[in-house]
Amino acid sequence: DTGVSQDPRHKITKRGQNVTFRCDPISEHNRLYWYRQTLGQGPEFLTYFQNEAQLEKSRLLSDRFSAERPKGSFSTLEIQRTEQGDSAMYLCASSQGGQPQHFGDGTRLSIL
């Protein structure tokens, strides 16, 4: 297993467009997390899955954001009607239970 992988690495899109990111966690990990990181900040929690169940979603996450993990393996994060403020690095991490989280390299989103 090569670790957590995220796709794409970079996404540039116009304001108002929809974008979808994918995360493939480490295969035996049951937990998957999405974070957002903006310049100068630590990771900001967005949402978290245990297997296929979405257990928590940040209040900071507007209705334009949705995440799925349909079979308890890979996950997708979709942002609808993107806005300038959505520009950030989107990080995915996975863990087995409460063990340390392993992070992917992230998807950098730039909104024009």
Partner 1 sequence: ILNVEQSPQSLHVQEGDSTNFTCSFPSSNFYALHWYRWETAKSPEALFVMTLNGDEKKKGRISATLNTKEGYSYLYIKGSQPEDSATYLCAFADNAGNNRKLIWGLGTSLAVNP
Of residues 55 and 112, the one with the C-beta less far from partner 1: 55
Radius of gyration of the chain (CA): 13
Contact between 22 and partner 1 (CB under 8 A)? no
- The values of phi and psi at residue 86, to 5°, are -80, -10
What is d(CA 63, CA 101) in angstroms, rounded to the nearest whole number? 26
For the record, the structure tokens of 85 come out as 């403020």
> Are the C-beta atoms of residues 46 and 65 closer than 8 Å to each other?
yes
Q: Does 25 bind partner 1 (CB under 8 A)?
A: no
Annotate each residue in 34-73 with x if it binds partner 1 (CB under 8 A) or - if it does not, as one string.
-------xxxxx--x------xx-----------------
Q: How far is the CB of 87 from partner 1 (least distance, A)?
A: 17
Contacting partner 1 within 73-102 (CB under 8 A): 91, 93, 98-102
**From CA 42, how far away is CA 52, in angstroms rounded?**
26
Of positions 19, 25, 33, 88, contacts partner 1 by CB under 8 A = 33
Q: Does 112 help bind partner 1 (rule: CB under 8 A)?
A: no
31 contacts 24 by C-beta, under 8 angstroms:
no
Q: Catalog residues that contact partner 1 under the rule CB under 8 A.
A: 4, 33, 41-45, 48, 55-56, 91, 93, 98-106
